[in-house]
């Protein structure tokens, strides 16, 4: 890819484009895949997981309409790339990751890059992170079949949540869910493909315990 960020016709929010320009994506990609860091597709990061495609990161971030004072919850830290983009645009970012090794690697990486407003916890993100709720924005980067009730509870009045919903390993729909006057208003945005949001039992059978413990930055 020649330009960074590329010229995506529907990504017009300058703050989002500036954040993408600032965050060094190559740092979040495995060393042997660095030459692909600025290509517009997802890449493997180990444990069967992927770093999301740059366009999808841009689209989801734009939909959140972040303000500098916002507090954000992310479910699915993965490489921490989306986390860094959020940290550029909001006050505090709380991110929950089900795979301990990924959570710890992302914490180290984000600390090394100088992010001080990011907090990472190993645990089941479907339960959110109630201690810091409510959140002005919630972003989910793995797909459940249905909206997790805890995440709706933890969304502030006037808050925005961006979440893919649908069956495992099939086409899913990206939703923008807003809470207004206590009502939950979901709007479909685009067809997408994400890894599934795993349940604690699946995580445990993959050799990962799912105790919620903080690996705070």
Interface with ligand SAH (CB under 6 A), residue from 49, 62, 154, 217 = 49
Q: Which of residues 136-195 bind ligand SAH (CB under 6 A)?
A: 141-142, 195
Among all chains, which residue has been given the structure tokens 């690697």?
A: 105
Under rule CB under 6 A, residue 124 binds ligand SAH: yes
Respond yes or no: is residue 52 known to be catalytic: yes
The answer to the question of residue 197 lying near ligand SAH (CB under 6 A) is yes
User: Could you say which of 89, 126, 176, 192 contacts ligand SAH (CB under 6 A)?
Assistant: 126
Catalytic residue among 52, 95, 199, 205: 52
Q: 103 near 122, Cβ under 8 Å?
A: yes
Run of H or E residues at 82: helix 81-89
Q: Which of residues 82-111 bind ligand SAH (CB under 6 A)?
A: 82, 96-99, 102
How many CB atoms within 10 Å of residue 11?
A: 19
How far is Cα 205 from Cα 197, in angstroms, rounded to an integer?
Answer: 15
In the block, which residue shows the tokens 């979901």? 186
- Please state, in angstroms and rounded to a whole number, the distance separating the CA atoms of residues 128 and 86: 17
**Distance, CA of 123 to CA of 95 (rounded, Å):** 10
Which one of the spans 8-16, 118-126, 128-136, 159-167 is the region binding ligand SAH (CB under 6 A)? Answer: 118-126
Which residues does the annotation mark as catalytic?
52
Binding site for ligand SAH (CB under 6 A): 49-52, 75-76, 78-79, 81-82, 96-99, 102, 124-126, 141-142, 195, 197-198
């Amino acid at each position: 890819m020649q330009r960074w960020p590329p010229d995506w016709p529907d990504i017009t929010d300058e703050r989002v484009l500036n954040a993408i320009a600032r965050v060094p994506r190559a740092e979040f990609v495995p060393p042997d895949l660095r030459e692909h860091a600025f290509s517009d597709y997802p890449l493997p990061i180990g444990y069967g997981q992927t770093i999301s495609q740059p366009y999808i990161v841009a689209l989801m971030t734009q939909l959140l309409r972040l303000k500098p004072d916002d507090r954000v919850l992310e479910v699915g830290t993965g490489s921490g790339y989306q986390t860094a983009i959020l940290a550029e645009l909001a006050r505090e970012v709380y991110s929950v990751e089900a795979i301990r090794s990924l959570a710890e690697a992302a914490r180290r990486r984000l600390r090394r890059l100088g992010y001080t407003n990011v907090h990472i916890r190993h645990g089941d993100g479907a339960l959110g992170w109630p201690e810091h709720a409510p959140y002005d924005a919630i972003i989910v980067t793995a797909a459940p079949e249905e909206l997790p009730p805890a995440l709706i509870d933890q969304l502030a009045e006037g808050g925005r949540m961006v979440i893919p919903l649908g069956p495992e390993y099939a086409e899913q729909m990206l939703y923008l869910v807003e809470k207004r006057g206590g009502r939950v208003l979901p709007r479909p945005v685009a067809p997408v493909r994400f890894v599934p949001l795993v349940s604690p039992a699946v995580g445990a059978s993959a050799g990962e315990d799912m105790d919620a413990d903080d690996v705070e930055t």
